[in-house]
């Protein structure tokens, strides 16, 4: 018993000393970022001078230039571009939709809908599609009523489940209608699909995002509509009113283009050939400034490098800030980065991404052995709590670092900010700089820098 007690005292004694010096250094990181941070101004420049930057678009190239320039300015030892072929989907014009019906007073009503074609969807042709609307709540209902689908425009009004505290779970559940809804309706002869946007916002902004056609089915036009419009349609059907619809979209694929992962490094002092990756994705959808998706992740990752540089911290491992190409509609940048790492037999220690919006930080989620997560939960989480990170979870990680895990079993993670506001603007027109909060963005960067510092110092 006495021996055990002694061991406890010794071990907590040692760890207390380490914890104190780490705690002080993390306080310095926080002071630097909160008082002298560049993340917010860097984001303003990206959003306001580059703006939308979908893979293959002219904005993509402008964003890459911004990334190179910014990484150099923030003090990277080395900045380079990793070329990758990316898809080049284009919206092709403004999307149009309307519904027509006869109201209770016998009056004919035509009502415009605010829609955005789904990413990767093909256009309807210049005349659009016209037909009766068929409203289904979910795939069960679609299957039951499959004989009614032919020649119709199918509307999925599957709504976010508000009971989830983490809105990501609602997105996970309803997201399937965006991804597979069009092809599942096409299978039974639908001529078009409109979905209720994947959001729980109080406005009527439509939210785009990739769909995934089943190659064996007709590639019918499809779009997301705002929640107020979706509510209207749901109400009309509840009242037994017959509704016809019109949908015109112009999506098309142009030939693949050459894009780049933009990479900035701080060279490791002890293990220059061992890499810690921290990143976000540089591409955005075409309808917004990609502020929270994922400008914030990019500038937070850059801020990690900037803080280390400002504080004169010499990392043991090479810290790589990676601004990934083409997350939204291809993930080709992320795959390229992992494939090339594997081909060169690089040793990747850790990969971290921020791609859940620049909101007030709550935690990190890891993909690595449970005992390792438990170990750092005990040792490191107390160091981050003063900065708002209370959870080290297990489960998923940023889409752009997952390929590192799949190809080389690299432990990977993602920042988990508060989730309440993200799907208000995710893939919608209002994902603009003004909807990012300076201090929330900075606090995310503080916690990311602290985690990267701890991984660099102690390994995983």
Cβ proximity to a second copy: between 28 and 314 the closer is 28
Site for a second copy in 31-70 (CB under 8 A): 31, 34-35, 40
- The correct pick among 157, 200, 303, 346 for binding a second copy (CB under 8 A) is 200
Cβ proximity to a second copy: between 84 and 384 the closer is 384
Cβ proximity to a second copy: between 64 and 200 the closer is 200
Site for a second copy in 396-455 (CB under 8 A): 418, 420-421, 424, 437-440, 443
Q: Which of 64, 265, 327, 353 is catalytic?
A: 327
Order of strands, sheet of 347-353, starting from the edge strand that comes earlier in the sequence: 78-90, 252-266, 317-324, 271-281, 347-353, 412-417, 361-367, 391-394
Cβ proximity to a second copy: between 40 and 237 the closer is 40
Give the interface segment with a second copy, choosing from 129-137, 157-165, 247-255, 274-282 (CB under 8 A): 157-165
Should residue 30 be labelled a site residue for a second copy when binding is judged by CB under 8 A? yes
The HSE-up count of residue 82 (CA atoms within 13 Å, CB side) is 23
Contact flags string 166-195 toward a second copy, x per CB under 8 A: -x----------------------------
Give the interface segment with a second copy, choosing from 158-166, 235-243, 329-337, 368-376 (CB under 8 A): 158-166
Find the shortest distance in angstroms from Cβ 224 to a second copy.
Answer: 20
How far is residue 332's CA from residue 315's CA, in Å, rounded to a whole number?
Answer: 29
Residue 304 · residue 321 · CB < 8 Å: yes
Q: Sort residue 120 into left (φ over 0), alpha (ψ -120 to 50) or beta.
A: left
How far is residue 109's CA from residue 111's CA, in Å, rounded to a whole number?
Answer: 6
Should residue 22 be labelled a site residue for a second copy when binding is judged by CB under 8 A? no
Find the shortest distance in angstroms from Cβ 359 to a second copy.
Answer: 9
Cβ proximity to a second copy: between 82 and 420 the closer is 420
- The correct pick among 16, 165, 343, 370 for binding a second copy (CB under 8 A) is 165
Find the shortest distance in angstroms from Cβ 34 to a second copy.
Answer: 5
Cβ proximity to a second copy: between 235 and 439 the closer is 439
Give the interface segment with a second copy, choosing from 75-83, 160-168, 266-274, 348-356 (CB under 8 A): 160-168
> Computed over its alpha carbons, how large is the radius of gyration of the chain?
24
Contact flags string 103-142 toward a second copy, x per CB under 8 A: ----------------------------------------
Should residue 360 be labelled a site residue for a second copy when binding is judged by CB under 8 A? yes
Find the shortest distance in angstroms from Cβ 106 to a second copy.
Answer: 32
Cβ proximity to a second copy: between 101 and 364 the closer is 364
**# chain residues binding a second copy, by CB under 8 A:** 26
Give the interface segment with a second copy, choosing from 67-75, 110-118, 245-253, 380-388 (CB under 8 A): 380-388
Asked about 270 being catalytic, the answer comes back as: no
Q: Convert the chain into a string of H (helix), E (strand) and C (coil).
A: CHHHHHHHHHHHHHHHHHHHHHHHHHHHHHHHHHHHCCHHHHHHHHHHHHCCCCCCCHHHHHHHHHHHHHHHHCCCCEEEEEEEEEEEEECCCCCEEEEEEECCCCCEEEEEECEEECECCCCCCCCCEEEEEEEECCHHHHHHCHHHCCCCEEEECCCCCCCCCCHHHHHHHHHHHHHHHHHHHHCCCCCEEEEECCCCCCCCCCCCCECCCCCCCCCCCEEEECHHHHHHHHHHHHCCCCEEEEEECCCEEEEEEEEEEEEEEECCCCEEEEEEEEEEECCCCCCCCCHHHHHHHHHHHHHHHHHHHHCCCCCCEEEEEEEECCCCCCCHHHHHHHHHHHHCCCEEEEEEECCCCCCCEEEEEEECCHHHHHHHHHHCHHHHHHHCCCEEEECCCCCCCHHHHHHHCCCEEEEEECCCCHHHHCCCCCCCHHHCCHHHHHHHHHHHHHHHHHHHHHCC
Find the shortest distance in angstroms from Cβ 42 to a second copy.
Answer: 15
Cβ proximity to a second copy: between 16 and 165 the closer is 165
- The correct pick among 177, 213, 380, 387 for binding a second copy (CB under 8 A) is 387
The alpha carbon of 450 is separated from its chain's Cα centroid by a whole number of angstroms, namely 22
Cβ proximity to a second copy: between 91 and 421 the closer is 421
Contact flags string 246-275 toward a second copy, x per CB under 8 A: ------------------------------
- Residues at the site binding a second copy, with contacts judged by CB under 8 A: 30-31, 34-35, 40, 162-163, 165, 167, 200, 202, 360, 362, 386-388, 390, 418, 420-421, 424, 437-440, 443
Residues labelled catalytic:
327
């Amino acid at each position: 018993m006495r021996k055990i007690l002694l061991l406890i005292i010794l071990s907590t004694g040692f760890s207390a000393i380490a914890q104190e010096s780490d705690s002080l250094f993390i306080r310095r990181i926080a002071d630097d970022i909160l008082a002298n941070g560049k993340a917010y101004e860097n984001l303003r420049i990206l959003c306001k001078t580059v703006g939308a930057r979908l893979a293959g678009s002219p904005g993509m190239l402008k964003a890459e230039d911004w990334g190179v320039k910014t990484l150099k300015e923030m003090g990277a030892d080395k900045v380079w571009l990793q070329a990758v072929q990316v898809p080049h989907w284009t919206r092709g014009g403004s999307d149009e939709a309307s519904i027509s019906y006869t109201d209770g007073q016998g009056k004919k009503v035509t009502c415009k809908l605010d829609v955005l074609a789904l990413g990767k969807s093909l256009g309807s042709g210049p005349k659009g599609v016209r037909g009766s609307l068929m409203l289904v709540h979910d795939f069960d209902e679609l299957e039951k009523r499959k004989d009614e689908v032919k020649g119709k425009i199918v509307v999925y009004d599957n709504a976010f489940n508000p009971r989830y505290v983490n809105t990501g779970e609602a997105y996970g559940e309803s997201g399937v209608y965006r991804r597979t809804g069009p092809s599942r309706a096409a299978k039974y002869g639908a001529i078009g699909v409109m979905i209720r946007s994947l959001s729980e916002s109080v406005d009527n902004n439509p939210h785009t995002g990739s769909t995934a056609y089943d190659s064996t089915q007709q590639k019918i036009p499809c779009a997301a509509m705002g929640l107020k419009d979706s509510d209207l349609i749901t109400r009309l059907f509840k009242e037994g009113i017959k509704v016809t619809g019109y949908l015109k979209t112009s999506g098309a694929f142009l030939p693949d283009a050459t894009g780049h992962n933009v990479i900035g490094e701080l060279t490791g002092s002890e293990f220059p050939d061992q890499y810690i990756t921290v990143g976000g994705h540089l591409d955005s959808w075409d309808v917004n400034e990609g502020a929270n998706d994922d400008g914030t992740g990019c500038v937070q990752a850059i801020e990690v490098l900037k803080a280390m540089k400002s504080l004169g911290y010499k990392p043991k491992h090479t810290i790589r800030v990676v601004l990934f190409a083409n997350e939204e509609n291809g993930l080709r940048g992320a795959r390229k980065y992992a494939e090339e790492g594997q081909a060169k037999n690089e040793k990747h220690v850790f990969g971290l991404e921020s791609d859940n919006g620049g909101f007030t930080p709550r935690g990190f989620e890891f993909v690595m052995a449970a005992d390792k997560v438990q170990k750092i939960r005990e040792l490191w989480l107390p160091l981050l709590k003063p900065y708002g990170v209370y959870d080290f979870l297990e489960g998923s990680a940023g889409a752009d670092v997952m390929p590192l895990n799949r190809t080389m079993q690299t432990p990977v993670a993602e920042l988990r900010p508060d989730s309440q506001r993200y799907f208000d603007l995710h893939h919608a027109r209002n994902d603009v700089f003004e909807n990012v909060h300076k201090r929330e963005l900075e606090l995310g960067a503080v916690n990311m820098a602290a985690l990267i510092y701890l991984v660099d110092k102690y390994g995983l």
